[in-house]
Amino acid sequence: MSADFSIRPMGAPVAAPVIEPAPGAARHAVPTHLPAGKAVVATEPALSARNDPRADDSRLSRQVAIDRDAAAIVYKVVDGPSGYVVRQYPDQARLRTLAYLRAQDLARQSDARRDNGEHTDVTA
């Protein structure tokens, strides 16, 4: 058995079949007669709904803040009129976790300094 795992072409290349798009088939279809309420009509491309996340970007503002408890920079996308946070990185759960871990580290460093005698009270 070979230890060579490279992929090599085998044989002659295969030509992919060309499939005619659906609008061509729709032009040759048999017309149907339906009432106006049940008929399906193709919409104009300009009138179709857009699935563009930047379509209503004028209301959104980008903000950068510093969370001192977590010692992290927070990036937010905020809806202007309502003040609702649309996106945030890092999210609130991660910020709380970072703040907790930072508090644990600071407490451990404080205990280590106290044990080393760095903060010994020398006043009488």
Does residue 31 fall inside a structural domain? no
Cα distances (Å, whole numbers) of residue 47 to 29, 44, 61, 92, 95: 25, 5, 28, 39, 43
pLDDT digits (tens, 9 = 90+) for 10-26: 566 667 777 666 666 66
Whether residue 97 is contained in a domain is answered as: yes
**Which domain range does residue 92 map to?**
58-115
Percent of the chain having pLDDT more than 90? 13
Domain count, the chain: 1
31 vs 67, residue with greater confidence: 67
93 inside domain: yes
Q: Is residue 76 part of a domain?
A: yes
Q: Is residue 24 part of a domain?
A: no
Predicted TM-score (pTM) above 0.75: no
**What's the number of CA atoms in the CB half-sphere (13 Å) around residue 91?**
3
Q: Is residue 6 part of a domain?
A: no
